[in-house]
Amino acid sequence: MGFMGSFDAVDDRLRRWIARHRRVFALTGAGCSTASGIPDYRDDRGEWKRRPPVMILAFRTQDAVYRRYWARAYAGWPRLTSAAPNAAHRAFAQWESAGTLHHVVTQNVDGLHQRAGSRAVVDLHGRLDVVVCLGCGARTSRSALQDAIAAANPDWRAEAVTAPDGDADIDARVIESFVPPRCEACGDLLKPDVVFFGENVPTERYEHAREALGRADALLVAGSSLMVYSGFRFVRLAREAGLPIAIVNRGRTRGDDLAELKVERDVGTALAGAVAAIA
Ligand SMILES: [Zn+2]
């Protein structure tokens, strides 16, 4: 589904759509964070750009997968922590302050909505800055774990990373020499507190988001191709409830046929103007 007319006409339709609704539920995805330097894993057609993310079963059961994951994650962390909120995150925070954005449910795990000042945020897929033990369930901070990893790998060359898009590509020899972290309390495997492929969104978190959608009068999808079902199901729920749906995304999405408005633009560019008009 393409769009008709000029950018200006589409922007005006988005402005009017935002001005028309009082309790908007926004679902945001990778396209909100790409301008912050955090890579999107899918291209405009919804295809994987590089390798797909690690599957939970392989992570739990294969030492080599576990080691490779943590070597790349450890090396890529400085880039993630140096990322700053962009115009998209600022627009959502401003919209919430204006009073008509009810909730942001994000598929992103970078915490940038909160850093931009948004308060009513559900991190649907968790947060990278928290680590959970798969054995005892202990939760710790990622930055503390980074220090522990550094101490256990004093001579390891994280700069062997050759990652133009941030998805740390380290050669096999370097990865083999990496000592992956273990839980300090019980010795079991550690995982960032994010939903891996093959895992479900925790029930309580999903219910919280669903209740928020139940109190909303419209759904805006921003920067997501909706290829992951945990996000797409909110579009289906909104449709079943008869809520108007708008989508801002460069490239097609799985929800295009269900939306009354589709804006093929960068999220920050499209939202900044539209939100400024109501604030
Ligand atoms: Zn443990």
Q: Report how far ligand 1's centroid is from the alpha carbon of 139 (Å).
A: 9
Q: Report how far ligand 1's centroid is from the alpha carbon of 40 (Å).
A: 31
The neighbouring-strand residues paired with 192 are 131
CA distance 93 to 113: 7
Highest mean pLDDT of the ranges 44-58, 168-182, 262-276: 262-276
Average pLDDT on 260-269 reads: 95
Supply φ then ψ for residue 155, to 5 degrees.
-105, 10
Residue 44 confidence (pLDDT): 53
Is the predicted pLDDT of residue 3 greater than 60, yes or no? no
CA distance 235 to 109: 20
Q: Report how far ligand 1's centroid is from the alpha carbon of 201 (Å).
A: 21
Average pLDDT on 78-100 reads: 95
Q: Which of 30, 50, 49 is nearest to 38 (CA)?
A: 30
Q: Which residues lie at CB < 5 A from ion ligand 1?
A: 133, 135-136, 138, 183, 185-186, 188
Instruction: Give catalytic residues, as residue numbers.
Output: 125
Residue 201 confidence (pLDDT): 94
| Residue 39 contacts residue 245 (beta carbons within 8 Å) | no
Structure-token pair, residue 220: 């805006």
Lowest mean pLDDT among 4-18, 66-80, 160-174: 160-174
| Residue 89 contacts residue 97 (beta carbons within 8 Å) | no
* Residue 32 CA neighbour count, 13 Å, CB half: 30
Lowest mean pLDDT among 127-131, 163-167, 270-274: 163-167
Among left, alpha and beta (phi > 0; psi -120 to 50; other), residue 137 is left
Q: Which of 257, 258, 264, 247 is nearest to 29 (CA)?
A: 247
**pTM here?**
0.88
Q: Report how far ligand 1's centroid is from the alpha carbon of 14 (Å).
A: 48
Highest mean pLDDT of the ranges 1-15, 66-80, 103-117, 165-179: 103-117
The neighbouring-strand residues paired with 122 are 105
Q: Report how far ligand 1's centroid is from the alpha carbon of 190 (Å).
A: 8
Is the predicted pLDDT of residue 10 greater than 80, yes or no? no
CA distance 136 to 144: 18
Q: Report how far ligand 1's centroid is from the alpha carbon of 17 (Å).
A: 48
